[in-house]
Amino acid sequence: MRDFLKALPKAELHLHIEGTLEPELMMALAERNGVTLPYASVEEVRAAYDFEDLASFLDVYFQGMSVLHTARDFEDLAMDYFRRAAAEGVVHVEMHVDPQAHLARGVAMDTLMEGLERARRRAASELDLSTALILAFLRDRPAEEALEALEQAVPHLERLDAVGLDSAEVGHPPGKFAVVFRRAAELGLARVAHAGEEGPPAYIREALDRLDVCRVDHGVRCLEDEALVERLRAEARVLTVCPLSNLRLKVVERLEAHPLPAMLEAGLTLTLNSDDPAYFGGGMLDNFLACERAFGWSRETFTRLAGNAIEAGFMSETRRDALRERLAAMQVPPGG
């Protein structure tokens, strides 16, 4: 099964590029840029990657960002992940980037966009890896700040595929960003949003109604609202679920207790993703393997999940057709 899951052409729709920062690269970039970290070694950094909840994770997450200063840093960060992902059979990556966190440190929008664009071009030519870029807004910051960040990104519009909404969910409902998402729609950008991870099912409904999102990131608490589940199923709304992330952030105590099987049984359109792989114990292959161990899913189920991601990804139709062909070539028998 490991060989099969590694070979399966996987599209990752829910990834924070800052969350791919491995301890080794963090220390190397800190040295390059003269940044003093509260860690003396790679081992100390790894020890800090042990979280009680989303808030404690975010503390370390934003601290790690402090080593990112130049376009070269963002290029190195992205390429480091792209290489690991491609080696695991990932064929398409959609990365959220948090511009507000970088702008607040004095890093210009041009800097991060140029670095990520260089990495995207290299990924396509060196790894046959297609990519998309999602400009994510920090929901615990003012909506006016998010709108300003969006306007700063307009000169780079051709590099953007969507906008998103992330960071601390509880107490920060999606509707707060309705004006920002309307502006994104005017600019022709797709919209996605984190909802229903720690926040209530009402946040999922609000993201659909007030932000007009095409995908819901996480969404695992939808099962608490039967009418919402029916709506998600009827509209075939895609949920980008991150099982190992949910485990590490204590959304579930054991992976075996994750609502994923019930969500599948309810007929929801799901995808598997890594979220912040450096912090949460693994990339796409680890997430697929963990689900196989926890739920005993068949090859057919994993193929269907991989297909969902290919269909929902922000990519050219030419690329989508090519990935469909690669998936079909896996030749999984029904029930296999």
Letter string b/e over residues 140-177, b meaning 16 or more CB atoms within 10 A of that residue's CB: ebebeebbebbebbeebeeebbbbbbbbbbeebbbbbb
User: Which CATH superfamily is 2-22+74-328 part of?
Assistant: Metal-dependent hydrolases (3.20.20.140)
Domain range annotation of the chain: 2-22+74-328
Q: Measuring CA to CA, how many Å separate 118 from each of 24, 93, 217? A: 22, 15, 26
Q: Are 132 and 94 in contact (CB under 8 A)?
A: yes
- The model's pLDDT over 68-126, given as tens digits with 9 standing for 90+, comes to 999 999 999 999 999 999 999 999 999 999 999 999 999 999 999 999 999 999 999 99
Looking from the CA of 45 toward its CB, the CA atoms found within 13 Å total 19
Long-range (24+ apart) CB contacts under 8 A made by 152-159 are 152/99, 152/103, 152/109, 153/99, 153/109, 153/113, 154/187, 155/110, 156/109, 156/110, 156/113, 157/187, 157/188, 157/189, 159/113, 159/116, 159/117, 159/120, 159/133
Is 197 in the active site?
yes
For 12: left if phi > 0, alpha if psi spans -120 to 50, otherwise beta; the answer is beta
Q: Would you call 13 exposed, middle or buried from its count of C-beta atoms within 10 A (0-12, 13-18, 19+)?
A: buried
How many whole angstroms separate alpha carbon 162 and alpha carbon 160?
6
- The model's pLDDT over 118-162, given as tens digits with 9 standing for 90+, comes to 999 999 999 999 999 999 999 999 999 999 999 999 999 999 999
Considering the candidates 18, 94, 197, 292, report the single residue annotated as catalytic.
Answer: 197
pTM above 0.85, yes or no: yes
336 residues of the chain, pLDDT tens digit each: 999 999 999 999 999 999 999 999 999 999 999 999 888 899 988 888 877 777 778 888 888 899 999 999 999 999 999 999 999 999 999 999 999 999 999 999 999 999 999 999 999 999 999 999 999 999 999 999 999 999 999 999 999 999 999 999 999 999 999 999 999 999 999 999 999 999 999 999 999 999 999 999 999 999 999 999 999 999 999 999 999 999 999 999 999 999 999 999 999 999 999 999 999 989 999 999 999 999 999 999 999 999 999 999 999 999 999 999 999 998 665 555
Amino acid at 53: D
- Non-local (6+) Cβ contacts of 142 within 8 A are none
Length of the chain in residues, anyone?
336
Beta strands, E only, 104-250:
130-138, 162-166, 190-195, 215-218, 238-241
Q: How far apart are the first and last CA of the chain?
A: 11
